[in-house]
A and B are shown apart, each in its own frame.
Chain A
Amino acid sequence: MWQRMTKHYLFWPLAALAVLLLFNLIYNPGFFSIRIQGGHLYGSLIDILNYGSPLMLVSIGMTLVIATGGIDLSVGSLVAISGAVACLSISQATDQNSLGAVIMAVAMALGLSIVLGLWNGLLVAGAGIQPIIATLILMVAGRGIAQLITSGQIITISSNTYKYIGAGWLLLLPFSIFIVAAVWLVTALFTRRTALGLFIESVGSNPTASRLSGIKSRSVIIAAYIFCALCAGIAGLLVSSNVSSADGNNAGLWFELDAILAVVIGGTALTGGRFYLSGTIVGALIIQTMTTTIYTIGVPPEINLVVKAIVVFVVCLIQSEQFRARLAKRRKSRPVGTDQEVTRHA
């Protein structure tokens, strides 16, 4: 039973999350309190879900890209671009509150995201550039594009309709949670109810064999990058709508790294192949919980990145099968020779 449980892909991510929550339970009892105020639920847990929404979205897209054996470094920049386009479009509307203007803005932002995702996909699958380099182009250029759109300023808007996306409430909960749930559901349906998931895993696991089996690996890869960019675009809407402004410089900064981390913590290997959407969600929650915890227990802001790094390090160690095996081995028999390593190198 224990064996089967620890083998489950969600076991270690959930264990890590549980440890983090346990820590909070001990040092920060107020963490778990949830109260209703004005028809809204309030509390740290709700905050985690709310503020973690953009990261969860980006991570869902990143999961598919990583499963194909690729990586997308441009998601942070895409978050900024999407927010900038949406805010610019609304700021120029005659009535910022009109539904039409908001729909128009959302459509433009997401449309541009799709185009940029296609660009990434074509660089990787069409031109055969290594994913890390191909997406680095847009990661760097994207910041520039975002600042170009905002003319280097922070665009502020006053549209309550748009603000609902990232800061609205529905059925006691933040609206952003529903967006994440919807994207997650649609992704799960699309990958598991159609053959797309199978193709992605196949291409990520063995591209040559996949091609020889007749899979259009190129379109599978392009689709993954487009989808990833679309997710980043939606995340960009959430981020900009939450603060009713677009900051080309800082919106989505370092998102790509958190997203990659969330995917890896969730159990999807960076080498591609099998992917785990729910694992990714747990991974993103771990990261957000960590961030929130660091703020709530009052770690000085100068060192909170260090604390974050240490926690990530520990989480990754717990997840590493090799490390666990070594730990178990050491416990069983202390004097372990190094002969195994030697033969491997020979």
Chain B
Amino acid sequence: MNQRPILEMRGIHKRFSGFAALSNVSFRLFPGEVHALMGENGAGKSTLIKVLTGVHEIDEGEIQLDERRLHVSSPYEAQEYGISTVYQEVNLCSNLSVAENIFIGREPRRFGRILWKEMNRRAKQLLEERLHVQIDVTLPLGAYSVAVQQLVAIARALNISAKVLILDEPTSSLDQNEVRELFAVMRKLKEQGLAILFVTHFLDQVYEISDRITILRSGEFVGEYMTRDLPRIELVTKMIGKELEQLEQLPNQAKRDAVGSGEQFLEARGLRRNRAIEAFDLTIERGEIIGFAGLLGSGRTEAARLLFGADRADQGVLRTSGKTGAPIDSPRAAIKQGIAFCSENRKTEGIIADLSVRENIILALQASRGWFRTISRKRQEEIADEYIQKININPKNPEILIRNLSGGNQQKVLLARWLLMQPDLLILDEPTRGIDIGAKTEIQKLVLQLSQEGMAVLFISSELEEVVRVSDRIAVLRDRQLISMMESDEISHENVMKAIAGR
């Protein structure tokens, strides 16, 4: 760690149509180190990686590789220079053999004929010597676990004379043993002098494997630290930061008189799903607001999806005192029990892009009524107008296609869809992500008002301020586990932060 950095980025600026994804960001990477790049959603991690691999071009700043100014304009070029990336989703071909995957596009050839034996030999050698993995390279990649596929992806990246290896959330779909395997490989590569840029959301893993940490927040450079010198709590504080206090006009939750109703609505015992969330217990009372706090990938969404039946639990019991008492094994069943779920993925799991605002609003209600008990066109229009006024959806035209609305307004339409169902429990997963501060405040106010009216709300957000402000109780999740449940008097920004950091 005494040498000069192999890669240095200085004063990097990158703007996308008006908003700055990176502003004045610096980054250094030394040979033989594992460097963790940390930051919440939208902090600019992906943009930084994309800039480095030539997917995006920088607007300002300088990148140096090996003390030479580097200009890359495509991922292919980046590879040629020795910057290789392994993405979160393994993007290899599962029906080709391991060796083919490693050498795809650059197979050893003679007179245009692929030298299969040579290719297999070299693939085997590469895996054994550099990664210490012994597998049959002639079998199709799909025959191996995700972890091995991940290693093959790394081998593929290494095949070109790599100097820098970027691992973008490589562990998110691995179990603990597989993570250990991957880390062993990373350590070996480190010893061989490779510089590794590691992106993850798991704090434990950061402290286990990394030597150095760079933190980004909202596109800005927060700092570069040696891992051993940076306590967890500080890491989390620096990642989350303090929000601009534009939201202060909201009543603080602690001052609210009615906290829950004492009447239990939902009970989960030992609910668990492989690779998503470890077993957890949870009870929710009517009229209370439960917050889920934790970093991205901590299992917040996964837990909520189990409660809604969007995913099936592998183990555990889920009971509600809801309308029918039937088991929740599908979203449809959950809706019947009075549960509503507003997904964090607005585009893929929320809006029906081809349909109008009106149709999107009445969709869930109509689904619960079936094909024949239709809602008359007139009633639909009344409903749409009512909610457009009530939660201020813009533009005020129910017949416009929802795909033409801004993100915040799409979110409001989805809220309207679920409010119309008058659920007993409303699960809101990142309801304020990517929407402006005004709309944010409106949604928070709405949540408070709904709970006053007796609706239970499960509020999930990456923004700690928000969760702390609205919640009666907060469940803290870390590394796919529900690690603590805080009652109203324990709730504070600091306590939650400490729990998230885990030390």
Contacts and interface: CB of A to CB of B under 8 A. Distances in A.
Q: Tell whether A and B belong to one assembly.
A: yes
Given A209-B351, A214-B335, A195 B74 contact: no
A213 B331 contact: yes
Contact of B370 (A195, A202, A213): A195
B367 A215 contact: yes
Contacts of A196: 371
A321 B186 CA distance: 50
Contacts of B247: none
B374 interface: yes
B310 interface: yes
Given A194-B371, A194-B372, A212-B310, A205 B417 contact: no
Contacts of B374: 193-195
Nearest to A206: B352
Given A206-B353, A209-B349, A346-B55, A195 B369 contact: yes
Interface in B363-384: 363-364, 366-372, 374-375
Interface string A239-253: 000000000000000
B350 interface: yes
B352 to A, nearest CB: 5
A205 B354 contact: yes
Contacts of B372: 194-195
Interface string B218-260: 0000000000000000000000000000000000000000000
B332 interface: yes
B326 to A, nearest CB: 14
Contact of B332 (A193, A208, A214): A214
Interface string B320-333: 00000000001110
Contacts of A346: 55-56, 73-74
Interface string A180-212: 000000000000011110110110111011111
A174 interface: no
B341 interface: yes
A76 interface: no
A198 B354 contact: no
B372 to A, nearest CB: 6
A233 interface: no
Given A194-B372, A195-B374, A202-B363, A214 B355 contact: no
A216 interface: yes
A4 to B, nearest CB: 14
Contact of B355 (A194, A201, A211): A201
Nearest to B55: A346
Contacts of A211: 330-332
B244 to A, nearest CB: 32
Contact of B348 (A194, A201, A209): A209
A213 B367 contact: yes
Given A201-B355, A202-B355, A205-B353, A212 B370 contact: no
A163 interface: no
A273 interface: yes
- Assign chain B's interface to a size class: 20 to 34
A63 to B, nearest CB: 15
A120 B336 CA distance: 30
A208 B348 contact: yes
A206 B374 CA distance: 21
B462 interface: no
B367 A199 contact: yes
Contact of A214 (B73, B331, B348, B359): B331
- Assign chain A's interface to a size class: 20 to 34
A143 interface: no
Q: Which of B55, B56, B366, B375 has the most CB of A within 10 A?
A: B366
B343 interface: yes
Contacts of B366: 195, 198-199
Contacts of A208: 348-349
A198 B348 contact: no
B343 to A, nearest CB: 6
A274 B359 CA distance: 12
Interface in B336-364: 336, 341, 343, 348-355, 359, 363-364
A315 B363 CA distance: 35
A209 B350 contact: yes
A187 to B, nearest CB: 14
Interface string A258-274: 00000000000000011
Contacts of A198: 355, 359, 363, 366
Contacts of B73: 346
A195 B371 contact: yes
Nearest to A274: B354
A215 B366 CA distance: 9
Given A194-B371, A195-B371, A201-B354, A214 B364 contact: yes
A212 B352 CA distance: 11
A206 B369 contact: no
Interface in A207-245: 208-216
B343 A212 contact: yes
Contacts of A204: 354
A205 B355 contact: yes
A188 to B, nearest CB: 14
B52 to A, nearest CB: 15
Given A194-B372, A194-B374, A195-B369, A213 B355 contact: no
Contacts of B341: 212
A213 B371 contact: no
Given A193-B374, A198-B359, A346-B74, A209 B352 contact: yes
A212 B367 contact: no
Contacts of B308: 212
Contacts of B369: 195
Nearest to A219: B371
Contacts of B350: 209, 212
A209 B335 CA distance: 14
Given A193-B374, A194-B371, A215 B354 contact: no
A216 B343 CA distance: 18
A309 to B, nearest CB: 30
Given A198-B359, A199-B371, A202-B363, A216 B353 contact: no
A273 B367 contact: no
A195 B373 CA distance: 8
Given A194-B374, A198-B363, A206 B348 contact: yes
A28 to B, nearest CB: 40
A274 B403 CA distance: 13
Given A216-B332, A346-B55, A206 B363 contact: no
A147 to B, nearest CB: 36
Contacts of B331: 211-214
Contacts of A206: 348, 351-354
Contacts of B363: 198, 202, 210, 213, 215
Contacts of A193: 374
A212 B354 CA distance: 17
Nearest to B363: A213
B368 to A, nearest CB: 6
Nearest to B336: A214
The 6 A-B pairs with the shortest beta carbon distances in the complex, nearest first, are: A273-B354, A205-B354, A214-B367, A214-B335, A215-B367, A214-B332
Given A210-B352, A273-B354, 5 more contacts: A209-B349, A209-B351, A209-B352, A214-B367, A274-B355
29 contacts: A195-B366, A196-B371, A199-B371, A201-B355, A202-B352, A202-B363, A205-B354, A205-B355, A206-B352, A206-B353, A208-B348, A209-B348, A209-B350, A209-B351, A209-B352, A211-B331, A211-B332, A212-B331, A212-B349, A214-B332, A214-B336, A214-B364, A214-B368, A215-B363, A216-B332, A216-B367, A273-B353, A274-B355, A346-B55
